[in-house]
Amino acid sequence: MFHLGMANLLEDGYDATGWLLVGLLQVLVIVVVIGPLERWRPVEAVTDRKAIRTDIIYTLIQRLGLFRLVLFFTLTPLFDSLFGMLRVEGLRTYNIDAIWQGVTDLPWVSFLLYLAVFDLVDYLIHRGQHRFDWWWALHSLHHSQQQMTKWSDSRNHLLDDVLRDVIIVIVAQLIGVAPGQFVAIVAIAQLSENLHHANARIWFGQIGERLWISPRFHRRHHAVSLVEATMGDPHLPAQSLKPLPRSIELARGCNFGVLLPVWDMLFRTANFELRFDPTGIEDQVVPGADGKVRNYGDGFWSQQWLGILRLMGRG
């Protein structure tokens, strides 16, 4: 960075290097730990390796820093300026770890507090992604994966990721989470989500399911809504099925949590049925009024473009 005349950005360079190292470790864990779990107890046979390769591209973009690099040169300067001005105007950071001196400021206690706060924010974001049609137009890309694996967590529209990251950054600035703790929380959450999306017939038992989200719990969230409409028989011929109204699909939404099932339990959106359903969206199975099923794209660029068209009401 000195050689390129960017010494003024040296601190940011250290941060970027830290995120890169965390991302490399995450990819290693995904391959070495979660991969064998999928081979040990798969939910379904792998039939669409092309879709999985596309998800790997999403994961590498997210975890190895390319997405964060774009944000660094675009949104980060804007947010730094904005919060700088707000600080001058007297905006005070509410440090959660200062609530109870001698207790909440213990490193492990403050870490758990911040983790719970960010998990609640993620839960609310996820509810919004399913509640608002314009947001669902972007988030539906994530649900369109019918061959869900350990790589599927990062399969998101880039605009959806930007919007979520903006919300998370604002919350992080307001509650004063330490940079080191923030990195650790993000890393743990991302790896846990990789496990949640794994093609693995795994659940944590009656007690464990209520303490931490399992692949079984999250797969229920990704289940095709038509499974509900056919009393659990997803193998009926498509022509015998009718598309569900959007309102019914939303009403049946469940298991929105990211790490902790407690939010789903508190807001009555938890579903603890022990079942492993097919994943995807009903409009991929049942033709619409035009007699066609919806196309969400096969590759990275087509998926991003079709997401834009859906957002504009043209897809």
CB neighbour list of residue 287: distance below 8 Å, 6 or more residues apart? 238, 293
Measured on CA atoms in the order 185, 257, 126, 25, is the torsion positive or negative?
Answer: positive
Query: What letter does residue 34 receive in the DSSP assignment?
Result: I
Has residue 48 got a pLDDT over 90? yes
Side chain identity, residue 28: L
pLDDT digits (tens, 9 = 90+) for 276-303: 999 999 888 888 777 788 999 999 999 9
Q: How confident is the model at residue 13 (pLDDT cuts 50, 70, 90)?
A: confident
Q: How confident is the model at residue 38 (pLDDT cuts 50, 70, 90)?
A: very high
Has residue 153 got a pLDDT over 90? yes
Side chain identity, residue 209: E
Average pLDDT over residues 264-284: 92
CB neighbour list of residue 252: distance below 8 Å, 6 or more residues apart? 225, 228
Average pLDDT over residues 111-127: 96
pLDDT digits (tens, 9 = 90+) for 202-260: 999 999 999 999 999 999 999 987 554 443 444 444 444 444 444 334 434 899 999 99
Token reading at 255: 């298991």
Q: How confident is the model at residue 90 (pLDDT cuts 50, 70, 90)?
A: confident
Q: Residue 226: its pLDDT value, please?
A: 55
Who wins on pLDDT, 226 or 181? 181
CB neighbour list of residue 52: distance below 8 Å, 6 or more residues apart? 46, 147, 149, 151
Q: b/e per residue, 58-81, with b = 16+ CB within 10 A?
A: bbbbbbbbebbeeebeeeeeeeee
Q: Residue 60: its pLDDT value, please?
A: 95
Q: Residue 51: its pLDDT value, please?
A: 95
**Phi, then psi, of 92 in degrees rounded to 5:** -105, 135
**Is residue 281 within 8 Å of residue 315, measured between CB atoms?**
no
Average pLDDT over residues 34-60: 96
